Amino acid sequence: MAGSLVKIAETTVSSAVASVTLTGIDSTYDEYVFKFYNIHPATDTSEFQFNMSTDSGSNYNVTKTTTIFKSRLSEADNIQELGYEAGSDLAQSTNYQSFTYAGIRNENDSSLSGTLRIFDPSSSTFVKHFIAECNYMSKSGTTSVTYNSFIAGYGNTTSSVDAINFKMSSGNIDSGVIKLYGIS
């Protein structure tokens, strides 16, 4: 059936790890989808991030140009916002791209869930476009806030992207599940 998700890999983090790498990205599919479930940081207000590799994971340093905007609403209903986050995007940078604008809390009930989609990662002609959407809980002062972040951009390379690395901006990934799918 065209357009079906075909599971390639799944990683469950049940004890803290510095990062998670998923490989299995090749020319089999034109689109790859990563799904994140309840990503929980070990360090409070850490950012969940990713970078791409063109050398089977020896280096995660693909140059990226990205944009990020977010919506947020507080439990107290005193914060409602939709806005572009210039300080969270990348302009021809090899840095890791954050999925979050405000870091994820490490309280027991806090986590991030979302999706990253990468298009035609094996193309030797075009750059590597991607889009992501994540929802997570953070704080503004003492008020809990739900954030929905939207990220889009491209890896500025015509080399094949064959691995993706996920990590926190500081500390470890405490728990969560990351799944990789190809779109048939």
**Total-model pTM:** 0.95
Q: Cα–Cα distance between 98 and 122 in angstroms, integer?
A: 23
Contact yes or no for 135/147 (Cβ under 8 A): yes
Mean pLDDT by 10 residues, the chain (184 residues): 86 97 96 98 96 96 97 92 92 97 90 98 97 92 90 98 98 98 94
| pLDDT at 102 (0 to 100) | 85
Q: Cα–Cα distance between 17 and 26 in angstroms, integer?
A: 26
Query: Phi/psi at 38 (nearest 5 deg)?
Result: 50, 50
| pLDDT at 140 (0 to 100) | 76
| pLDDT at 74 (0 to 100) | 92
* 3-class SS shares of the chain: helix, strand, coil, % to 5: 0, 55, 40
| pLDDT at 1 (0 to 100) | 47
Burial of 153 (0-12, 13-18, 19+ CB in 10 A): buried
Q: Cα–Cα distance between 159 and 86 in angstroms, integer?
A: 28
| pLDDT at 2 (0 to 100) | 63
| pLDDT at 152 (0 to 100) | 98
Buried b vs exposed e over 111-142: b needs ≥16 C-beta within 10 Å? bbebebbbbbbbbeeebbbbebebebbbbeee
